[in-house]
Structure 1
Amino acid sequence: MTTLTIAAAQSISIAGDLHANIARHQHFIQVAAEQGVQLLVFPELSLTGYERGLAAQLAIAPDAAVLQPLRDLARELSVTTVVGMPIRLSADSPVLIGALVLAADGSLGVYTKQHLHSGEEVAFAPGSGGSLLTLGNDTIALAVCADFSHASHAAAAADKGANFYAAGVLITEGGYAPDTALLQGYAGEHSMVVLMANHGGATGGWESAGRSAIWASDGSLITAAPGTGDLLVIARRNASEWSGEVVTVVST
């Protein structure tokens, strides 16, 4: 197998402040590039925080100009980056929970959360998912939080040929054990590497558990964050062997 480096960006979002969060994301991308990361995945709604009450006013088109600096940086540093954002696909369409793929080749991909968590329907409509990502010989399927609570979602990803399953999430301490058990189970059951990028701190009134993690395709843990905070959780594949490390991202 070819070498590959992937990372979960366990970031802390500033509530509703898109410009400040873009700057924080840029810093994460720069640190990730220094670590040789080729695929970087942020948590659910990372660019705004999990702010349901602000989603309608913050929602933008996926190709909005405000995100161009992030797209440019991802291309310049060759780090395919997945960011979380409330989006509208047209001016009069409902607000969706988006995971935007800012590809290293400059292209833009859009994934929309298919399965809403209880209570999210007051602010969001269910989305339709999105295309698989290709990185060299690897195929990556995306998920956003409650998507992975449906076993059919991970199974469909595997059926389409994905050997990676990358989820941007918001998971609290109470949900951490059952949720990570599901994700770890998908890794072993479907022979997929599974990445989970959780928020690094409180957001939208919820206390995130942090502890972002990456599991190998046999279900074994490659690496995980020890707690909360701004961190990169990195997994490196050299031949068929995986190694992991956690890097602290110091705010600028």
Structure 2
Amino acid sequence: MTDLDIAAAQYCSVAGDLNANIERHLRFMQRAAKLGIKFLLFPELSLTGYEPSLARELAQTPDTALVQPLRELAVQLGMTTVVGLPLRHFGSDKVLIAALVFAADGSQVTYTKQHLHPGEELVFSAGNGGPLLKLGTEPVALSVCADFTHASHAQAAAQAGAGLYASSVLISDNGYVHDSALLQGYARDHAMAVLMANHGGPSGGWACAGRSAFWAPGGERVVSAQGTGDCLVIARRREGSWQGHLVEVNI
């Protein structure tokens, strides 16, 4: 097995402020790159915060120039980076919850959330998911929050050959025990690694739990944040074995 260096960016979004969040994402990316990270995963709707009431006015197209600095820095750092934002395709009034993938080679992939939580349909439309990513030789499947609450989603990722299931989420204090158990179960039952990036502070009226985490294939929790706040949850694979550690991010 090849070496792998990945991280969840546990991130506190600035509500509704794309420009401020882009600047903070850039700093997170630079910090992660200095630590040798090659794949960086941000939480659901990280560039705007989880703000359904603002999503329609903040929605961007996949080719928006606003995120060009993120695209360019991903290439410069050689670090594939996954960020979240509300998305609108040209000519459509539907708003999707999306993860944009800025690959280290300059390409871009869009993943759109397939399953909505109750009430999200008042603002958002269900998306179509997205293709497996390749991180070197490692197949990576994305999910966004409610996607992982459907066992069929993780099962399909495993059947497609994913070695890593990377989930961008907003999980509250009340939901954390249940939701983290689901993710750990997928690592155990499908023998694939699971990386979860959660919001590190309140967003959209939710008290987010933080506690972003990584589980190795087989279900062992290798590393997790202790609570809320900005940090990097880092997992490294060496000779087939996983190790993890936390790094606080002060920006």
Which range, TM-score by smaller chain? over 0.9
Question: Residues of 2 paired with 1:38 and 1:191: CA distance?
Answer: 22
1:92: Cα distance to partner? 2.1
SS class of match (1:5)? strand
RMSD (Å), alpha carbons: 0.6
Question: Residues of 2 paired with 1:76 and 1:93: CA distance?
Answer: 34
1:93: Cα distance to partner? 3.7
Question: Residues of 2 paired with 1:43 and 1:246: CA distance?
Answer: 17
Question: Residues of 1 paired with 2:226 and 2:3: CA distance?
Answer: 26
Q: Which amino acid aligns with 2:207?
A: E
Aligned residue number for residue 159 of structure 1: 159
Aligned residue number for residue 188 of structure 1: 188
Question: Residues of 1 paired with 2:40 and 2:91: CA distance?
Answer: 29
Question: Residues of 2 paired with 1:2 and 1:239: CA distance?
Answer: 7
Aligned residue number for residue 209 of structure 1: 209
TM-score (norm 1): 0.99
Any idea what the Cα deviations from partners look like across 1:106-127, whole Å, max 9, x if unmatched?
1110000000001101110000
Superposed, which structure 2 residues align to 1:100-111 within 5 Å? Answer: 100-111=100-111
Superposed, which structure 2 residues align to 1:223-234 within 5 Å? Answer: 223-234=223-234
For the pair 1:70 / 2:70, whether they are aligned, the reply is yes
Question: Residues of 2 paired with 1:223 and 1:126: CA distance?
Answer: 32
SS class of match (1:179)? helix
Aligned residue number for residue 112 of structure 2: 112
Q: Is the 8 A contact 1:63 1:108 kept in 2?
A: no
TM-score (norm 2): 0.99
Question: Residues of 1 paired with 2:202 and 2:89: CA distance?
Answer: 28
Question: Residues of 1 paired with 2:93 and 2:113: CA distance?
Answer: 15
For the pair 1:123 / 2:123, whether they are aligned, the reply is yes
Any idea what the Cα deviations from partners look like across 1:177-206, whole Å, max 9, x if unmatched?
000000000001111100000001000100
Q: Structure 1 unaligned segments of length 5 or more: list them.
A: none
Superposed, which structure 2 residues align to 1:42-81 within 5 Å? Answer: 42-81=42-81
1:2: Cα distance to partner? 1.1
Q: Structure 2 unaligned segments of length 5 or more: list them.
A: none
1:22: Cα distance to partner? 0.2
1:39: Cα distance to partner? 0.5
Q: Which amino acid aligns with 2:78?
A: S
Moved segments of 4+, more than 4 Å: none
Question: Residues of 2 paired with 1:223 and 1:33: CA distance?
Answer: 19
- Residue identity (%): 61
Question: Residues of 1 paired with 2:115 and 2:60: CA distance?
Answer: 20
